Amino acid sequence: MTRLTVEDLNQADKERFVDILGGVYEESPWVAERAWSERPFSSTEDVRQTMKDVVRNASQKKQLDLLRAHPDLGENIEMTDESEEEQASAGLDRLSAEQYKTFQQLNTTYRDKFGFPFLMSVREESVETIQNAMEERIDRTKSEEFQTALDEVNDIARLRLEELVATDEDERT
């Protein structure tokens, strides 16, 4: 797949821009819609930071909706291609019956406490690392975990954006 350049994004009309970047934030094309008006972008980092700022400046309800748009980790449910690939890279699509049960319990406990799914940038992480993070983060306060979840979502978005848009260094080589 040929990655786009920042210039491609700068020249895209709003519909095309959202079509390209609407999935960077899970099931939340509104982030790309709001970022579009900030063109022209000077770099890939500028695009990333603008989208991150859109999330930061959104209402708490909109941020919560964004968090809730993500699937539970390790669940056998329909999800976006991006989430499927990310979870598969961490082995979450190949959990043993015991691991699956543990993840279901942790997901339920976490969701009941915080009101949104456990979020972690899991690409290339191990099942054990993810499980340990879930167990550790369940003990946090709601405000701490809300911010951590937003940070994780922004990291997931950064990785997705890097797959779609050539970095400035890529463009120089």
Catalytic residue numbers, as ranges: 70
- DSSP H stretches of helix in the chain: 6-11, 14-21, 30-36, 44-57, 60-68, 81-89, 97-114, 127-137, 142-164, 168-172
Report how far apart, in Å, the C-alpha atoms of 128 and of each of 84, 99, 156 are.
Answer: 18, 9, 19
Q: How far is CA 32 from CA 20, 38, 124, in A?
A: 9, 10, 26
3-state class of 141 per DSSP? coil
Torsion of Cα atoms, 59 then 62 then 67 then 71, to 10° = 180
- Tokens standing for 16? 């095309």
- From residue 159, how far is each of 39, 68, 94 by CA, in Å? 21, 19, 22
